[in-house]
């Protein structure tokens, strides 16, 4: 992907490697169940999507399809590198590249059936998951929110539509368009990957 | 007490030596002599009808038989409120006049014009022979400043503020300290030079002066920055700095004042100074937070006394400010903390009208205060005792500017190492240029005791010069400079629900990644705080159901509410306000044809039944959800509290709608013409029923559509009809298929019941209606 220019430093790789070993219980590969054991993830409403993202081939290389059952450290690192902040002095082009890559990651998280569009159903699922912690109250309004959001995307991307026209779903280009306002390249980052000094790795009781 | 204090304000001549010793910002009201009041009373002529010593007059009447005064004049009684009102009126008229001249207002910022007006008024008063009133520090700190700060604190954009908190603190604390010592030290050096008559100015006085003049003033910054619409980052940086440097200023001021009295400084004193700073700032925040929580808690119970809700907000905030001032803590920080803490909870509790009231009152008060402050600055300039010393004044000005520039450059260099979004040199220039000084500095110098500070008048003159320079020169030129440098302006974007969804999504995603990394960073703690907030704090401070409302839903409801109000205000026609994507409607996004690449699995009968049952309930909800978002139907009075009442009405409308179902093909009469809609607002069920009828064919189309391709395919009888495209065959599809309408029969699934609030919509006919439909064809 277009993130080669932001190499993760050796020290960070070492720390991540330690973490990988810890999660996979010293095996070579990581499975979904290993990630599911992380306690802090329990309270996260979108934990399944996050875990799934690590095993999604589309995030490993440009034309990957489908998902895998287990990943090695290389894939783990590749997924982590999506959360690197862009360097300060980069050209506008490179910034755009990075933005596309990160938004592609998000898009893949939503587009679960890999047909290139986020349909209404998939979007509804996203909103439902986000509100899944709010009980029945959340579930009921989730559909309304998702519908409203789709309406917004359709009207922004396509404009006026005749009553019998049909908006298939959010394509990647539309997705880029509606999220233009969020400066994704700076917001989607973890400080951990920027720190040059060693960071403590919390020892979780697995 | 209050009145006699104000009397002092108007009777104060230019030398405040008549006032007792002042220490620090707060003046002890109790010690103010009530002399003036008594004197003026004795001066009033005895003919006045309302004179207090009525008894004598009556006796006098009996003896001297004076004629009954039909019309009498007693100006002295109303003098004080009258003069205050005159000033406020003058300020407001000035503001009015200012905005009536658009050409002038685009060149000169409002604050400059107001100072000029103040100068004129001061000059006029002087011409008349009276001494113009000076901006008394207590009036300023107790009555004029709090509304502005509360307005700023209540509407503080928390997200940007916390994201840039490190930077802001650096500028506020380190920057102000640097400025204070640089200016103070260099001025002392200048004073020591031969040729100036400034040998009497000792180091501590210079440092005190430096500390006062180095603080960026929030009033001036607000006044200027609000007009130039600069991007949010720069705005929050400069503005945040001006708010937070109050603590530093307070501490330094008291410190140097005490030292001037004491005469010597030791290392312990320096150390104590640092401790004092922490106490002042953190103490102020704690006091503010306590009052904020109290206000939030009180607002939980105000559902029956909505009228006084705004009062609680204002009084609690003012108390926070005053309480902080009692202990010499930073009142400004207390006020900011109070406003910021109470806002999310209060807004969830109070009614929409109260919210509007609070907003408008705060804006109004802060606007009036702002205007008065600048006018009085002008008047004080004319009135104040001046001691002009060329070298001192020029040196002050130069050092202030230089210190600011150097400080900003140096700090940015350090800060950029830790920031993700670095500050460019353009940003740095704006930050340096936006460091305006204002009335706070003036008032602080005014409070100085001339006995300890004999050069006070010189300080006053210097401060006024610096203030004039920054406000006039920098204030006027910042706008063209911003345009020249092409600094990013504030984007007037509407908050979109997609962005909100993804902001939330990102928050959770980043927290999750941090957890996977095992790194307890930013997001982890923020998430923990949010969860704590949701679990405990919200339950305490927010009344009723809304305590459990997640942020996304709250945002969505706010949007709905806003659009409903817009719809009502625009006449309630079928023309939707621009906020709503009126060009696309629900039918455009609902899938009508089966997606080609969907694999339709074979299903057993049992599974198909299960699926149909699930879909039935989901589809029901779909219709209801669509209804709740569609502005056509939400013509009810959105000004009522919450959506509860709207939804209760909807429940009632359902009954009516059942009867309407038979008339689907009849186009709805133009019940949505503005006058009709207005007349039927919230009261007339017809408005609801008729409107919804037009929607039904549209919505029902989606239900029939193969969102449930499996069930359609397996049951052969339905498959052909199910895959038909929409159009006029909609009704046909519905009537021909008995089982399909069966699909739409509402299933009373358990989880539907406990959620009446958001469930019931007009379009949702009960099961009985569906049965009816089966028997009667739709087509007439």
Q: What is the 3-class SS of B500-534, one letter each residue? A: HHHHHHHHHHHHHHHHHHCCCCHHHHHHHHHHHHH
Neighbour tally for A93: CB within 10 Å: 9
* Inter-chain touch B559–A148, beta carbons under 8 Å: yes
- pLDDT at position B64, please? 65
Burial B270-294 (b: 16+ CB within 10 A, else e): eeebeebbebbbebbbbbbbbbbbb
- pLDDT at position B517, please? 79
- pLDDT at position B660, please? 59
The structure tokens 């696309």 sit at B584
Which residues of chain B from 523 to 542 reach within 8 Å of chain A, CB to CB? 523-524, 527, 531
* Inter-chain touch B501–A126, beta carbons under 8 Å: yes
Which residues of chain B from 685 to 744 reach within 8 Å of chain A, CB to CB? 707, 726-727
Chain A contact for B591 (CB, 8 A cutoff): yes
- Segments of chain B scoring below 50 in pLDDT: 1-61, 574-582, 593-598, 626-642, 662-780
Nearest chain B residue to A129 by CA: give it. B505
- pLDDT at position A193, please? 61
- Helix (H) or strand (E) segment spanning residue A171: strand A170-171
- pLDDT at position B737, please? 38
- pLDDT at position B629, please? 47
Q: Is B716 helix (H, G, I), strand (E, B) or coil?
A: helix
- pLDDT at position B139, please? 84
- pLDDT at position B412, please? 92
- Helix (H) or strand (E) segment spanning residue A170: strand A170-171
Chain B contact for A154 (CB, 8 A cutoff): yes
Do B739 and B718 meet the contact criterion of CB atoms below 8 Å apart?
yes
Q: Would you say how long chain A is, in residues?
A: 206
Reported as a pLDDT band with limits 50, 70 and 90, residue A75 is: confident
Size of interface A-B (CB pairs under 8 A): 206
- pLDDT at position B322, please? 94
- pLDDT at position B224, please? 85
Which residues of chain B from 630 to 689 reach within 8 Å of chain A, CB to CB? none
- pLDDT at position B411, please? 92
Distances (CA, A) of B441 to A146, B140, B326, B374, B447: 52, 11, 20, 13, 10
Cα(B753)–Cα(B135) distance, integer angstroms: 64
Please write the tens of the pLDDT for every residue from A106-164: 888 888 887 888 888 888 888 888 877 666 666 677 788 888 888 888 777 777 777 66
Report CA torsion sign: A129, A134, A140, A144: negative
Query: Which residues lie across from A56 on neighbouring strands?
Result: A67
- pLDDT at position B361, please? 92
* Inter-chain touch A152–B498, beta carbons under 8 Å: yes
Q: Which residues of A touch B551 (CB under 8 A)?
A: none
Across the interface, of A131, A144, A183, the residue whose CB is closest to B629 is: A144
ipTM above 0.90, yes or no: no
Nearest chain A residue to B621 by CA: give it. A140
* Inter-chain touch A190–B493, beta carbons under 8 Å: no
- pLDDT at position B455, please? 81
Chain B contact for A176 (CB, 8 A cutoff): no
Nearest chain A residue to B551 by CA: give it. A131
Across the interface, of A88, A154, A166, the residue whose CB is closest to B592 is: A166
C-alpha closest to that of B25 among B126, B173, B192, B141: B141
Cα(B595)–Cα(B597) distance, integer angstroms: 6
Q: Which residues of B touch A158 (CB under 8 A)?
A: 584
- pLDDT at position B261, please? 72
Mutate to test the interface with A, among B509, B548, B558, B758 (most CBs of A within 10 A): B509
Across the interface, of A16, A50, A143, the residue whose CB is closest to B512 is: A50
* Inter-chain touch B501–A133, beta carbons under 8 Å: no
Chain B contact for A198 (CB, 8 A cutoff): no
**A42: CB partners within 8 A, 6+ apart:** none
Structure-token pair, residue B609: 């039944």
Q: Which residues of A touch B552 (CB under 8 A)?
A: 127, 130-131, 145
Cα(B433)–Cα(B26) distance, integer angstroms: 31
**B294: CB partners within 8 A, 6+ apart:** B316
DSSP class of residue A116 equals S
């Amino acid at each position: 992907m277009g993130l080669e220019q932001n190499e993760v430093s050796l020290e960070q790789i070492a720390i991540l490697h330690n973490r990988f070993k810890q999660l996979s219980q010293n095996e070579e590969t990581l499975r979904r169940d290993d990630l599911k054991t992380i306690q802090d993830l329990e309270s996260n409403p979108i934990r399944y999507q996050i875990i799934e993202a690590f095993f999604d081939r589309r995030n490993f290389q440009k034309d990957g399809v489908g998902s895998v059952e287990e990943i090695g450290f290389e894939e783990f690192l590749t997924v982590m590198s999506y959360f690197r902040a862009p360097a300060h002095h980069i050209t506008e082009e490179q910034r755009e590249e990075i933005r596309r890559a990160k938004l592609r990651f998000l898009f893949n998280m939503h587009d679960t059936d890999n047909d290139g569009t986020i349909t209404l159903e998939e979007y509804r699922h996203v909103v439902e998951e986000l509100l899944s912690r709010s009980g029945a109250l959340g579930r009921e309004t989730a559909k309304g929110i998702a519908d409203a959001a789709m309406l917004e995307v359709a009207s922004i991307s396509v404009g006026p539509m005749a009553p019998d026209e049909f908006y298939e779903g959010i394509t990647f280009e539309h997705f880029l368009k509606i999220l233009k306002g969020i400066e994704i390249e700076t917001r989607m980052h973890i400080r951990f990957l920027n720190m040059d000094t060693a960071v403590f790795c919390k020892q979780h009781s697995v | 007490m209050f009145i006699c204090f104000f009397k002092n304000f108007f009777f104060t001549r230019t030398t405040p030596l008549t006032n007792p010793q002042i220490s620090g910002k707060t003046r002890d009201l109790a010690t103010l002599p009530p002399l003036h009041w008594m004197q003026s009373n004795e001066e009033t002529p005895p003919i006045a009808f309302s004179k207090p010593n009525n008894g004598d007059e009556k006796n006098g009447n009996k003896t001297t038989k004076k004629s009954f005064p039909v019309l009498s004049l007693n100006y002295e009684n109303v003098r004080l409120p009258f003069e205050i009102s005159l000033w406020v009126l003058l300020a407001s008229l000035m503001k009015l006049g200012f905005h009536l001249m658009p050409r002038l207002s685009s060149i000169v910022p409002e604050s400059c014009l107001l100072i000029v007006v103040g100068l004129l008024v001061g000059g006029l008063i002087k011409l008349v022979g009276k001494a113009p009133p000076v901006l008394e520090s207590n009036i300023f700190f107790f009555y004029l400043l709090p509304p502005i700060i509360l307005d700023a604190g209540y509407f503080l954009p928390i997200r940007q503020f916390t994201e840039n908190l490190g930077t802001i603190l650096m500028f506020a604390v380190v920057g102000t300290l640097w400025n204070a010592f640089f200016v103070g030290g260099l001025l002392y050096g200048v004073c020591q030079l031969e040729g100036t008559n400034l040998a009497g100015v000792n180091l501590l006085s210079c440092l005190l002066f430096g500390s006062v003049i180095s603080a960026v003033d929030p009033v001036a910054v607000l006044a200027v920055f609000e007009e130039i619409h600069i991007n949010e980052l720069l705005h929050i940086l400069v503005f945040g700095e001006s708010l937070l440097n109050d603590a530093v200023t307070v501490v330094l001021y008291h410190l140097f004042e005490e030292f001037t009295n004491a005469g010597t400084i030791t290392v312990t004193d320096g150390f104590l100074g640092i401790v004092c700073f922490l106490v002042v700032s953190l103490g102020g925040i704690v006091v503010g937070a306590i009052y904020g929580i109290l206000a939030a808690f009180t607002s939980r119970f105000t559902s029956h006394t909505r009228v006084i809700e705004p009062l609680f907000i204002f009084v609690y905030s003012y108390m926070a400010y005053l309480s902080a001032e009692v202990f010499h803590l930073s009142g400004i920080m207390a006020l900011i903390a109070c406003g910021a803490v109470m806002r999310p909870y209060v807004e969830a509790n109070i009614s929409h009208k109260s919210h509007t009231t609070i907003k408008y009152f705060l804006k109004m008060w802060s606007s009036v205060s702002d205007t008065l402050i600048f006018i009085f600055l002008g008047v004080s300039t004319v009135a104040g005792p001046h001691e002009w010393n060329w070298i001192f004044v020029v040196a002050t000005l130069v050092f202030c500017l230089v210190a600011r520039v150097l400080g900003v450059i140096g700090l940015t260099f350090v800060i950029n190492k830790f920031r993700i979004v670095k500050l460019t040199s353009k940003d740095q220039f704006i930050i340096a240029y936006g460091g305006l000084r204002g009335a706070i500095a003036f008032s602080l110098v005014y409070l100085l005791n001339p006995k300890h500070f004999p050069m006070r008048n010189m300080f006053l003159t210097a401060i006024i010069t610096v203030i004039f320079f920054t406000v006039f020169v920098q204030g006027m030129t910042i706008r063209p400079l911003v345009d020249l440098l092409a600094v990013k302006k504030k984007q007037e974007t509407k908050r979109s629900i997609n962005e909100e969804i993804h902001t939330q999504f990102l928050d959770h995603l980043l927290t999750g990644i941090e957890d996977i990394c095992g790194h307890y960073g930013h997001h982890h703690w923020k998430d923990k705080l949010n969860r704590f907030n949701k679990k405990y704090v919200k339950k305490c401070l927010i009344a009723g159901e809304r305590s459990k409302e997640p942020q996304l839903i709250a945002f969505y409801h706010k949007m709905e509410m806003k659009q409903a109000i817009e719809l009502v205000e625009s006449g309630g026609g079928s023309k939707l306000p621009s906020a709503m994507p009126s060009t696309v409607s629900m039918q455009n996004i609902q899938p009508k044809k089966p997606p080609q690449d969907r694999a339709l699995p074979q299903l057993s009968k049992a599974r198909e039944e299960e699926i149909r049952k699930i879909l039935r309930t989901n589809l029901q909800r779909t219709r209801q959800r669509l209804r709740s978002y569609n502005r056509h139907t939400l013509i009810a009075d959105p000004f009522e509290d919450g959506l509860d009442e709207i939804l209760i009405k909807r429940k009632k409308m359902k009954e009516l709608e059942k009867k309407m179902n038979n008339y689907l093909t009849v186009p709805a009469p133009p019940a949505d013409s503005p006058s009709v809609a207005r007349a039927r607002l919230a009261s007339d069920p017809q408005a609801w029923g008729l409107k919804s009828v037009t929607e039904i064919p549209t919505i029902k189309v989606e239900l029939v559509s193969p969102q449930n391709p499996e069930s359609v395919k397996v049951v052969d009888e339905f498959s052909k009809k199910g895959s038909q495209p929409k159009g006029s065959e909609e009704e046909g599809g519905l009537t021909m298929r008995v089982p399909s309408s069966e699909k739409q029969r509402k299933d009373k699934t358990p989880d539907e019941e406990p959620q009446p609030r958001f469930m019931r919509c007009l379009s949702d006919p009960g099961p009985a209606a569906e049965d009816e439909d089966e028997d009667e064809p739709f087509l007439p």
